[in-house]
A and B are shown apart, each in its own frame.
Chain A
Amino acid sequence: MAEVLTHAEPHDEHDHKPHGWRRWVYSTNHKDIGTMYLVFACLMFFIGGGAAMLIRLELFSPGLQFFDPQFFNSLTTMHALIMIFGAIMPAWTGLANWMIPMQLGAPDMALPRLNNLSFWILPFAFTLLLSTFFVPGGAPAGGWTMYPPLILQTGAAFPMLIFAVHLMGASSILGAINVIVTIMNMRAPGITLLRMPLFVWTWLITAYLLIAVMPVLAGAVTMLLTDHFFGTTFFTAAGGGDPVMFQHIFWFFGHPEVYILILPAFGIVSEIIPTFSRKPLFGYEAMVYATASIAFLSFIVWAHHMFTVGMPLAAQLFFMLSTMLIAVPTGVKVFNWTATMWKGSLSFEPPMLFALAFLFLFTIGGFSGLMLAMVPADYQYQDTYFVVAHFHYVLVPGTIFGIMAGVYYWLPKWTGHMYDLKLARWHFWLSAIFVNVLFFPQHFLGLAGMPRRIPDYAVQFTDWNRVSSIGGFGFGLAQLLLPYIVWKCVRGGVPAGDRAWEGAHGLEWELSSPPPFHSWTTPPSDAVIARGAEH
């Protein structure tokens, strides 16, 4: 059919694309770039996960069995940098690339060449970052938060770290600009802002957060660079500088950053739960406003990461109250998701399973977050495994499960094949069980007094560390199923149909599976929009 069209109308030659390596390196296509982002994220997920496995290996027993403490510190630092900037953020950009044009009735992203650039910066950034393992002094070991003066003790890796962070930041900003321009300019006629799917909404807000805070991070690390090499003393008290100022600047970036990591997951879950409940999302507008409120609040809570640095009473009270306030819009979201399931007609395919696990386990992460907001209690929790448990609950069964849910939701659309549902269910159950074995005991460890970022511990912490390590190995092994399931699905399988899931609504399901190379070459008709843009 495509060939016939090609001969009749050369300008409508939809599937023309370069072949071989040129297709990828020169790509300006949102799907190909999205695929590259996702493959890259998957690769980084396994490298960062490998670092996590080594961490859990060393922590399996008290005493040092495998690594020098300095190398252990490098592992924790690199694990965080790789997972945040290499796995989660590129995975979100990959999903945005694939889905936003398809969900808005657009042919592609608004700025395709920029899109190519923003992806191709990443392999260079991470080659640079990972090569620090082989330079004198080893990989950065001062924590991903890069607090001075400690980070200034980094060896040859220091300028490489700074430059890598600059590159990642540039890539993120370019990606965010592209998302905003696409959403603002490429919506098909009739798709008003309040008819957009929630994944698009949450990504729009995420993109604004990225543009607001990535330059702040770039500024902070640049000041570190000049402190180290050019004699400035931004963060050195002896020269009139202030080491705590770095922490304020860093967390002014860092707190919105954690919402950058989670908001798109809110969007995905807001699409999956209605689909498998066969019922529209409860409180669509409330969801949009709650997301915007969370984004706004994220700018005024940063100092809750640093209650122990010694702040005035008024500042501590302010940051405690503003942090607690975040529980309100987040609660609204959880209640809306629950109300969506209420009186629905539920089925439990893999995307729904991951979304439900998200719902339960992210809420647990929210509870521990509320506990951490209480300043006096935070004095006891700060820098212990309780914090480690908290942010891993929101980032692994929160963000990572959100990404998994999205991949399992849209994979049939991308490939045209239904994946092996049985194997995907195995992947889910192994992940959901082991993630709790891995992280739940860390609450106990932290409360009992185990600090984070230590390579060795007092013997009374042995038992729960051992449980946590076993959970870690199980979780890590279970993730190997994901690339296998995806690869098998790409290679073939039962045709998925255009609307791969019975209850799915949205413009992406109005396209063929797999979709045409240039998604919507003509805007969808009013009838299609009416059918597709129901929430």
Chain B
Amino acid sequence: MIREKLAHLTLALAAAAAPLTAHAEPGWSQLNLTPGVTHISREIYHLHMLVFWICVAIGVVVFGVMIWSIVTYRKSKGAVADVTLVHNTKVEAVWTIVPVIILVAMAVPAAKTLVEIEDTTKTELTVKVTGFQWGWQYDYLDDGVMYFSRLDHRSDAARELLSGIDPTTVEHYLLNVDHPFVVPVDTKVRLLVTGADVIHSWWMPAFGVKKDAIPGFVNEAWFKIDKDKPGLYRGQCAELCGRDHGFMPIVVDARSKEDFAAWLKQKAAEQKQAATPTAPAAAPAAPTAATEEKAPWPKS
């Protein structure tokens, strides 16, 4: 029993140490938010950098005074305390009012961006996104296309406890899915986000979108990807949703409008064909949060 446990521990330690040598990812450069590929994500990035630099400036002043005091007013250097210095209305008024002004300067652009984000009018495509334990369901409401998207098989095999597979050898480890979410670029895509079982959160850093997928609620979010930025974008579920919360990535496949239209047409035809011969009477109604009780995926 103990020997078994020791053997297990040795194996675990070896597994933990192994990627030390094999690892060669550009991990050290992972320092900052992505500017992303939408107007909103860039607005957010600029807001983030603005507030960051304001904080740095305040930090330089405040920490500067602190360090100056620590260096200058040392008892060991013979400093004598000025015990009369206990109150100064003018100074205190200044350091109350100046922060208020700085805060207003930050709140204005933040509010402006927020108003833009909340504007869900004039959308061109609506997709219902349902989070479930543990994957995502995409439902193109107007086109009769629906499919599920889960962690791809290579990541799924490698992520097992002591799988023996080095994660660095798996392409896009934990950030790859079997069926990516296909959307067109240069189109205002509206998401209707909901949850099937517990709360999840649909997060795509490159779009600046994070919206909770809550059972019984339908949340709105939208994005419009730059025309010249088709490609694959990766994100993850951002709300703790149980055992495999860390293993339900999101991959968006952004295509040109024409490619998307072709894909959608083909997908719709495929799904129609697949549905007709086998179950004409029980054509699967678009599952809603209330009816979709069980994830169609066995719990691991």
By a beta-carbon cutoff of 8 Å, the part of chain A in contact with chain B is 57, 60-70, 73, 141-143, 147, 149-150, 153, 236-238, 242-244, 277-284, 286, 308-310, 313, 316-317, 320-321, 324-325, 327-328, 331-332, 334-335, 338-339, 341-347, 356, 359-360, 363-364, 367, 370-371, 374-377, 379-380, 382-384, 444-445, 447-449, 451-464, 535
Residues of chain B within 8 A (CB-CB) of A316 are: 114, 118
B224-243 CB contact bits vs A (8 Å, 1 = yes)? 00000000000111111111
Known contacts A62-B168, A150-B198, A344 near B69 by CB under 8 Å: yes
B158 interfacial contact with A, CB 8 Å: yes
- A242–B174 alpha-carbon span in the complex (Å): 32
Query: Between A and B, how many residue pairs show CB distances below 8 Å?
Result: 320
What residues on B are CB-neighbors of A236 within 8 Å? 216
Q: Is B121 an interface residue (CB 8 A)?
A: no
Residues of B within 8 A of A282 (CB): 85-87
A524 to B47, CA, bound (A): 56
With beta carbons under 8 angstroms apart, the residue of B87, B106, B168, B239 that contacts A459 is B168
A413 to B256, CA, bound (A): 73
Q: Are B106 and A324 in contact (CB under 8 A)?
A: yes
A342 CA to B91 CA, complexed, in Å: 13
> What 5 A-B pairs are tightest by C-beta distance, nearest first?
A237-B216, A454-B246, A463-B27, A448-B30, A310-B219
A331 / chain B contacts, CB cutoff of 8 Å: 95-96, 99
Binding site for A on B (CB under 8 A): 12-13, 15-20, 23, 25-28, 30-34, 40, 43-44, 47-48, 51-52, 55, 58-59, 62-63, 65-66, 69-70, 73-76, 79-83, 85-88, 91-92, 95-96, 99-100, 103, 106-107, 110-111, 113-115, 117-118, 158-163, 165-168, 172-175, 197-199, 201, 203, 205, 208-212, 214-217, 219-220, 235-247, 289-290
Partner of B95, one of A153, A335, A460: A335
Are B241 and A150 in touch, CB under 8 angstroms? yes
Docked-complex contact B219 and A375, CB < 8 angstroms: no
User: Could you say which residues of chain A place their CB within 8 Å of the CB of B85?
Assistant: 279, 282, 339, 342-343
With a cutoff of 8 Å between Cβ atoms, the chain A residues found around residue B106 in the complex are 324, 370, 374
Seed contacts A238-B215, A462-B19; 13 additional CB < 8 Å A-B pairs:
A317-B111, A328-B100, A332-B95, A343-B81, A343-B85, A346-B75, A376-B43, A383-B203, A383-B240, A448-B33, A456-B167, A457-B174, A459-B25
Q: A342-B85, A456-B174, A459-B168 are in contact. Are A332 and B92 (CB under 8 A)?
A: yes
Q: Is the CB of B243 within 8 A of A70?
A: yes
A367 touches B161 (CB 8 A): no
User: Contact: B199 with A328, CB < 8 Å?
Assistant: no
